[in-house]
Amino acid sequence: MLEKNFDPKSFEKKFLFDEEAARRNENAEPFMILLPPPNVTGSLHVGHSLCYTLQDIVARYKRLKGYDVLFQPGLDHAGIVTQLLVEKQVYERGIPKGSLTREALLEEIWAWKEKSGCQILGQMKVLGISCDFSRLRFTMDEGSQKAVAKLFVNLYDDSLIYRGERMVNWDPLIRSAISDLEVIEKEIDGNLWHLKYKLQDSEDFITVATTRPETIFGDVAVAVNPADERYKDFIGKTVLVPLINRPVQIIADEYADPAKGSGAVKITPAHDFNDFEVGKRHNLPASNIMNANGELDGDVPEAFQHMDRFAARKLVVELMEKEELVVKTEKIKHKVPFGDRSGVMLEPRITRQWFIDAAKLAVPAIEAVKNGDIKFTPKHWENLYFEWMNNIEPWCISRQIWWGHRIPAWYGPDGQVFVAENIQEAWKKATTFYGKDNIKLVQDEDVLDTWYSSGMWPFVTLGWPENTKDLQRFYSNMLVVTGFDIIFFWIARMIMMGLHANVTLDPLNASRASEVYATSLKLDSFSGASKTYASSTFGVEAASAKVNARAARTPFRNVYIHALVRDEKGNKMSKSKGNVIDPLKLCDVYGADALRYTLASMASPGRDIKMGQQTVEIGRNFLTKLWNAVRFAQMNDCASYNKEFDVNSVEHPFAKWIVHKIRNMITDIENSLDNYRFDEAARHIYQCVWNSFCDWYMEFIKPILQSASDSKDEIREVTSWAILQFVRVLYPIAPFISKKLSEDIGVGEMAWPDANAITLDCNDSVQKIDGLQNIISSVRSIRKFMGIPPSEKLEVNIETADPKLQDVFGEYKEILLRMAGISAVDKLEGQSIPLVLDGIVIHIRFDGKISVQSEKERLNNEIKKLMKDKDNALNRLNNNDFLQKASEEVVQEHRDRVESINEKISKMEYIINVLNLTPPAFI
């Protein structure tokens, strides 16, 4: 027996570590959900809870549907974030900055990871996320390390990874290169300084505008537009860079925009992306004047050596002001690049880094989405994917930090690079190269971008590079659920790396594992993606052989992009704004199920989720309602599972009616969940439980349960059955309460209901009950209108010529009386008033409780409304085009509508006439 109060805490703990995840079936269709591995530093925020809940709903649903579901959890080592965090803790312990060795820091991080790095896993369990935690992987575990090195070597061998000196975005705080995606453009207040650059051997000068005066020491030219009349005579002349008097040329370059600044721009190739390009065009040297910390360095005056860039900026301006070289200082707002993680202003910097030739890998990855091998939901996110992929830049994968996958490259004494999976392999290569052994090799100091190992997640978690059974079974049969901001970082990289990885297709499993890439391993049998991929990577001739060996497959088929969770005002949640909602607190107050239900119900596509504390009450209230309904059923012996019960055998119209509602609910929910419409699924169960089952069915059956009716047993059985169906369809969304209730009603294993097995013909009953509902609602409505208190029973006399409705009245008289608060009599005494319904008139005795006038008013209002509807329909029916072009059904529907309105109106008008003639009597 359920407790009177619905208290999620009383049972959620009990099912916390439910074993569903382990429910695997090797004979069933494989289905995998790849959980986006949270950062090892992470703790559950409300965005996670949405993302994880949606996947968990799919996972549980698919399990019930009989799939062999692998819900793969993991943790991401999150290079920069984690290192920053642990470093900070170490410094707080009093260990001086910079005194830790690489090995010591790594030891600290590993220790921290083991001790407190995985708290999010426990929080996921509170939320009921049914990952197979026994398969937990870490992006830096041994398997990942091997796989990362292996793929690196593959990519290097295929010339898709290379090392080069390039200008990259440099983070002076982290002291590392970062990728373009980790750059955040922020609009800030700044100054545009107009500075005088004096011409050599002349008192004349040219005004150069810059926002970054501290970089003048790196100036190697001044550029003007060749078409700019103002500066025509300056081209080719030499100016002196202020403060250092370095002579540089005035060059003509299209890059200089006459409309911007002064029209003359200083060229500092080592410290600006555009200047770098200009420098290349004009063969100018790149003079680097800044170190990794963002301090001035190199060819700068003594006073500026090792001065911070911002201090240097100030000093340069001061000195130039003293020399009266500042023409004007313009206050401007401009966008400046900042580091996503560090929050500091970035510096363009020329460094030697490792890159992935993303443009090449993108070709098959674009094709895979274009040809539908991979589908995004909602589909419009594919545009964003294409937009980025079509303009993709080389991916800088090296980071100058310590926490991460060390780049598997070793250097010989002469700097010769050997890329190999491990030092032994590197030695072998070195021995061959130098023709002698005992070569001293030094490993590259850098580590890989965190997203490199994340990009390999789909196959690494399945055991790659080993050709495991899991890899054969689950690779490609995957769903990934994530936020739109992760499409570039993760989704795109997984597709690119997945298509390149050597995920061979075992012919035996081919037909099962891949619908798109056919059973044969011949090139001809492959669709666009792998073909394009093969030819773009290896050339058309070599493609066949390589593809035969590689049999590239997409890692997954479906990508669901979920919404952003905002606060109730629609603001992005952030710690600094203080509007962050803690999902664990919500679980504590309302229960995890309530949170899950609420998130699901709000997950409609194309709209962000605005959520406040109270929003979760929607879910909590619904679950309370269900709880109480089951409790009522229990009190009446209507909540125990009977395996023998055959729902197709029920006869009572109420039973058939609820069976019909539930059958529709099941198929509706299936359609919704199959299309990732979590909001619809949540709504369907809500409406069926609340509006059909609680509001009507339970009221219908109360008199039967309290009587000695013959139907009592059947009603009990079907009520138990109904509850069981609710518990089952609710399970994916709200597993805790489902488990609790199913335990209470004595169900063993959870399963998905089979709507097709319900073959009962319910139409007749549905029609009757609809009629009954209509009568009850109408009587309630008129009673309210008349202001008759519910405690007072109304005497009514019911007349109808419709045999169907006569049946209804005959069969459900007791229900009708009870629910509408009436008592039916053959003959009314005293004053009465007629109420016109569809095909039925109910005469109600009211004994002067309302005025005739107000009843006439009411009827006239009703008629007005009906006339409007009627005119609407008549207008169409009078239109020849409508009659000719609209479908037969629609036309007939309109005719029927007009007819039934006419009937109603004429009855009402008749009543009004009678009311006009006489004081109401027995009408």
Interface positions, 578-637, toward RNA (CB under 7 A): 602, 604-610, 617-618, 620-621, 624-625, 628-629, 631-632, 635
- Minimum distance from CB of 604 to RNA (Å)? 3
For 334-362, b where at least 16 C-beta lie within 10 A, e where not — what string? eeebbbbbbeebbbbbbbebbbbbbbbbb
Contacts of 471 (CB under 8 A, 6+ apart): 459, 462, 463, 464, 503
State the binding string over 764-783 for RNA (x if CB under 7 A, else -). -------------x--xx--
Closest CB to RNA among 150 and 194? 194
Residues 627, 742: contact at Cβ < 8 Å? no
Q: d(Cα 243, Cα 219) in Å, to the nearest integer?
A: 12
Asked if 225 interacts with RNA (CB under 7 A), we say yes
Residue 198 in contact with residue 240, Cβ under 8 Å? Answer: yes
Residue 798 DSSP SS3: strand
Residue 699 interacts with RNA (CB under 7 A)?
Answer: yes
CB of 657: closest distance to RNA in angstroms? 16
If the CB atoms of residues 66 and 258 are measured against RNA, the closer one turns out to be: 258
If binding is defined by CB under 7 A, does position 27 make contact with RNA?
A: no
**Least distance to RNA, CB of residue 581, Å:** 14
C-alpha span between 530 and 526 (Å, rounded):
6
Minimum distance of RNA from residue 834's CB (angstroms): 17
Per rule CB under 7 A, is residue 261 in the interface with RNA? yes
- 402-461: contacts with RNA (CB under 7 A): none
Distance in Å, CB of 113 to RNA, minimum: 30
Which of positions 320-339 make contact with RNA (CB under 7 A)? Answer: 334-335
CB nearer to RNA: pick between 484 and 538: 484
Site string for RNA, 890-909 (x = CB under 7 A): x--x---x------------
String of contacts with RNA for each residue 272-301, x by CB under 7 A: -xx---------------------------
β-pairing verdict for 347-356 and 395-396: antiparallel
Determine if 576 is a binding residue for RNA (CB under 7 A): no
Q: Which of 415, 435, 790, 803 binds RNA (CB under 7 A)?
A: 790
Q: Rounded to whole angstroms, how far apart are CA atoms 192 and 327?
A: 11
Question: By C-alpha distance, which of 762, 772, 828, 750 is closest to 795?
Answer: 828
The DSSP symbol for 278 reads H
Question: In this complex, which beta carbon is closest to RNA, that of residue 509 or of residue 621?
Answer: 621
Whose Cβ is closer to RNA: residue 126's or residue 594's? Answer: 594
- In b/e form, how buried is each residue of 696-724, taking b as 16+ CB within 10 angstroms? bbbebbeebbeeeeebbebbbbbbbbbbb
Q: Which of residues 454-493 bind RNA (CB under 7 A)?
A: 485
Decide if residue 347 touches RNA (CB under 7 A). no
Q: Which of 43, 89, 211, 400 touches RNA by CB under 7 A?
A: 211
Q: Residue 275 or 717: which CB sits closer to RNA?
A: 275
Q: Which three-class secondary structure string do you get for 684-710?
A: HHHHHHHHHHHHHHHHHHHHHHHCCCC
Closest CB 375 distance from RNA, rounded Å: 16
Question: Binding to RNA by residue 16, rule CB under 7 A?
Answer: no
User: Could you tell me the smallest distance in angstroms from the CB atom of residue 273 to RNA?
Assistant: 6
CA-CA distance, 748 to 2, in Å (whole number)?
A: 18
* Burial (CB count <10 Å: 0-12, 13-18, 19+), residue 578: exposed
- Between CA 159 and CA 154 the distance in angstroms is 9
Q: Minimum distance between the CB of residue 122 and RNA, rounded to whole angstroms?
A: 26
Confirm or reject binding of residue 5 to RNA (CB under 7 A): yes
Query: Per rule CB under 7 A, is residue 146 in the interface with RNA?
Result: no
Phi and psi at residue 81, in whole multiples of 5°? -55, -50
Residue 512 or 683: the one with the smaller Cβ distance to RNA is 683
CB of 207 to RNA, least distance (A): 10
Count Cβ neighbours within 10 Å for each residue of 502-536 and write b for 16 or more, e otherwise.
Answer: ebbbeeebbeebbebbeeebebeebbbbbbbbbbb
> 4 exposed, middle or buried (CB, 10 Å; 0-12, 13-18, 19+)?
exposed
| Distance of closest approach, residue 402 Cβ to RNA, in angstroms | 27
Q: Under rule CB under 7 A, which residues in 811-850 are in contact with RNA? A: none
Q: How far is the CB of 163 from RNA (least distance, A)?
A: 23
How is residue 533 written in tokens?
Answer: 């991929």
Least distance to RNA, CB of residue 695, Å: 4
Q: Does 858 bind RNA (CB under 7 A)?
A: no
**Window 50 to 79, contacts with RNA (CB under 7 A):** none
Provide the minimum distance between the beta carbon of 417 and RNA in the complex, in angstroms, as a whole number: 29
Phi first, then psi, for residue 157 (nearest 5°) are: -65, -30
Does residue 165 bind RNA (CB under 7 A)?
A: no
Q: Which residues pair with 178 in a beta bridge?
A: 169
**Residue of the chain from 95, 173, 181, 923 that contacts RNA (CB under 7 A):** 181
- Is residue 210 a contact point for RNA (CB under 7 A)? yes
Q: Which residues between 74 and 133 bind RNA (CB under 7 A)?
A: none
Dihedral of the alpha carbons of 818, 822, 826, 829, in degrees to the nearest 10: 160
Task: Determine if 789 is a binding residue for RNA (CB under 7 A).
Answer: yes
> Of 110, 112, 133, 388, which one interacts with RNA (CB under 7 A)?
388
Out of 434, 690, 709, 856, which residue is the one contacting RNA (CB under 7 A)?
690
Closest CA to 840 of 898, 801, 807, 796: 801
3-state helix, strand, coil in the chain (%, to 5): 50, 15, 35
Asked if 189 touches RNA (CB under 7 A), the answer is: no
Which tokens is 419 given?
């890329």
Task: Quote the least distance from Cβ 216 to RNA, whole Å.
Answer: 12
Helix (H) / strand (E) element for 68: namely strand 68-72
Contact indicator for 141, 39 with CB cutoff of 8 Å: no
Q: Is 255 in the site for RNA (CB under 7 A)?
A: yes
Of 35 and 898, nearer to RNA (C-beta) is 898
Find how far residue 259's CA is from the centre of its chain. Answer: 43
Q: Closest Cα partner for 83 from 455, 575, 450, 445? A: 450
Q: Kindly tell me which of 388 and 641 has the beta carbon lying closer to RNA.
A: 388
Query: Does residue 262 interact with RNA by CB under 7 A?
Result: yes
Q: 792 in helix, strand or coil? A: coil
Q: How far is the CB of 606 from RNA (least distance, A)?
A: 4
Helix and strand tally (H, E) in the chain? 32, 29
Q: Could you tell me how many residues of this chain bind RNA (CB under 7 A)? A: 83
CA distance 174 to 168: 14
885 belongs to the binding site for RNA (CB under 7 A)? yes
CB of 654 to RNA, least distance (A): 14
Residue 440 Cβ vs RNA, minimum distance, rounded to whole Å: 41
Report the site for RNA in 654-683 (rule: CB under 7 A): 679-680, 683
Between residues 32 and 326, which has the closer beta carbon with respect to RNA?
A: 326
Judged by CB under 7 A, which stretch of 301-309, 694-702, 717-725, 729-737 contacts RNA?
694-702
